[in-house]
Amino acid sequence: MKSVSLLLFALIISGTTQAQRTIQLRNLWTRPQVHVLFQGYSISFTIKDIDKALQLLAETGDTTYGTTCGLDTSGDYVVELFPGLKMEYRKPLQILMQKAVGAFLISAGHAYIENPKHKIVRAVVSDIKPISPGADDAYIIFTDPNNDNMIFAGMMAADMYRKDLGID
């Protein structure tokens, strides 16, 4: 009986940890222009990476957001996002980052993240929630491995899992 319960416990633990993985963040080659504020963390992206992610998303057949974000690379853009998927966002950039490309770019390691104390976060833990039958998007939560605080939560198209931004 003891060995059966130990085996059952091991299966439960392995099933819950399979959806989690640690992602090392890369150095961005250009200055990030889009800064997402999420629960005290600042997640920064380059417009070039956002546009590349939108092109990859369009290749999957999702043309909801177009193939470019239309932002000027000489500007800086700051948006605030909240846990959960808020329907009351007023700026298209908020929806774009949380429901289309933010989770993908962090999963690819193409983000610059600072914690509330302005220290650089070099790695994140991603927790991919199971995709429900008939759904095309997965809900992903990213946490800081140093303190288990949530850094970002957003959606990513299932077809984007195997896409690669490339190293430029």
**Domain residue extents for the chain:** 22-160
- The Cα 57–Cα 22 span in angstroms is 23
Using pLDDT thresholds of 50, 70 and 90, give the confidence band for residue 86: low
Task: Tell me if residue 28 falls in helix, strand or coil.
Answer: coil
pLDDT higher than 50, residue 3: no
- The Cα 49–Cα 60 span in angstroms is 17
Rounded to an integer, what is the distance from CA 48 to the centroid of its chain?
16
Q: What is the pTM of this model?
A: 0.83
Sequence-ordered list of residues with C-beta below 8 angstroms from that of 7, at least 6 positions apart, any chain: none
pLDDT higher than 50, residue 90: yes
* Mean pLDDT computed over 141-164: 89
Residue range 107-131, pLDDT digits in tens: 999 999 999 999 999 999 999 988 7
- Between 141 and 19, the higher pLDDT residue: 141
- The Cα 150–Cα 63 span in angstroms is 29
Query: Are 165 and 28 within 8 A, CB to CB?
Result: no
Using pLDDT thresholds of 50, 70 and 90, give the confidence band for residue 149: very high
Sequence-ordered list of residues with C-beta below 8 angstroms from that of 4, at least 6 positions apart, any chain: none
- Out of 10-14, 54-58, 78-82, 95-99, pick the least confident: 10-14
DSSP string, 110-151: --EEE-TTSPEE-EEEEEEPPPPTT--EEEEEEE-TTT--EE
Q: What is the structure's pLDDT at 85? A: 66
Query: Are 113 and 69 within 8 A, CB to CB?
Result: no
**What percentage of the chain carries pLDDT values higher than 70?**
85
pLDDT higher than 70, residue 139: yes
Look over the chain and give the mean of its residue pLDDT values, rounded to a whole number: 84
- Out of 26-30, 112-116, 160-164, pick the least confident: 160-164
Torsion of CA 59, 61, 52, 153, to 10 degrees: -140
